[in-house]
Amino acid sequence: MTTRDTILQAALERFARTGYLGSSIQQIADDVGTSKSSVLYHFESKEALLEAAMQPAIDAMSALVAALPHAGPDKLEAVPALATGFVDVLMAHSAAVSVFVTQRGALRDVPVIGRANALVDAIASTLVQEAPSARVLTRVSIGLAGVAFILGDALDDDREHVHPAEMREIFIDTLLELCLAQPESLESAR
Amino acid sequence: MTTRDTILQAALERFARTGYLGSSIQQIADDVGTSKSSVLYHFESKEALLEAAMQPAIDAMSALVAALPHAGPDKLEAVPALATGFVDVLMAHSAAVSVFVTQRGALRDVPVIGRANALVDAIASTLVQEAPSARVLTRVSIGLAGVAFILGDALDDDREHVHPAEMREIFIDTLLELCLAQPESLESAR
DNA sequence: TCGAACTCTGACCGATCGGTCAGTACGATG
DNA sequence: CATCGTACTGACCGATCGGTCAGAGTTCGA
pLDDT digits (tens, 9 = 90+) for B88-102: 999 999 999 999 999
Whether the CB-CB separation of B148 and A160 falls below 8 Å is answered with: no
Q: What is the Cβ-side half-sphere exposure of residue A64, based on CA atoms within 13 angstroms?
A: 28
Residue B100 in domain:
yes
Residue A38 in domain:
no
* Strand, helix or coil for residue B158: coil
Out of A156, A170, A181, the one facing B138 most closely (by C-beta) is A170
Count of structural domains, chain A: 1
Asked if A138 has any chain B CB less than 8 Å from its own CB, the reply is yes
Residue A113 in domain:
yes
By C-alpha distance, the chain A residue nearest B163 is A134
Residues 76-115, chain B: which have Cβ within 8 Å of A?
Answer: 80, 98, 101-103, 105-106
**Could you list the pLDDT tens digit for every one of the 190 residues in chain B?**
899 999 999 999 999 999 999 999 999 999 999 999 999 999 999 999 999 999 999 999 999 999 877 666 666 678 899 999 999 999 999 999 999 999 999 999 999 999 999 999 998 888 886 667 888 889 999 999 999 999 888 776 655 667 889 999 999 999 999 988 765 544 444 4
**Quick one: three-class SS letters along A70-118?**
CCCCHHHHHHHHHHHHHHHHHHHCHHHHHHHHHHCCCCCCCHHHHHHHH
Residue B181 in domain:
yes
Is residue B6's beta carbon less than 7 angstroms from any atom in nucleic acid strand D? no
Residue A163 in domain:
yes
Region for A159 from its dihedrals, namely left if φ exceeds 0, alpha if ψ lies in -120 to 50, beta otherwise: beta
Cα radius of gyration rounded to whole Å, chain A = 19
Out of B18, B105, B162, the one facing A106 most closely (by C-beta) is B18
Percent helix, strand, coil in chain A, to 5, is 75, 0, 25
Whether the CB-CB separation of A119 and A66 falls below 8 Å is answered with: no
Residue B46 in domain:
no
Helix axes B134-153 and A134-153, enclosed angle (nearest 10): 110
Structure confidence by residue, pLDDT tens digits, B28-53: 999 999 999 999 999 999 999 999 99
- Look up the CATH number of the domain holding residue B164: 1.10.357
Residue B6 in domain:
no
Evaluate if residue A159 carries a pLDDT over 70. no
**What is the domain range of residue B159?**
51-189
Out of B16, B174, B190, the one facing A142 most closely (by C-beta) is B174
Amino acid (1-letter code) at residue B127: L
How long is the CA A25 to C1' D29 vector, in angstroms? 35
Averaged pLDDT score across all residues of chain A: 88
Distance (Å, rounded) from C-alpha A103 to C-alpha A20?
A: 7
| CB contact (8 A) between residue A142 and residue B138 | no
What is the model's pLDDT at position B94? 95
Evaluate if residue A68 carries a pLDDT over 80. no
Residue A74 in domain:
yes
Evaluate if residue A183 carries a pLDDT over 60. no
What is the model's pLDDT at position A190? 40
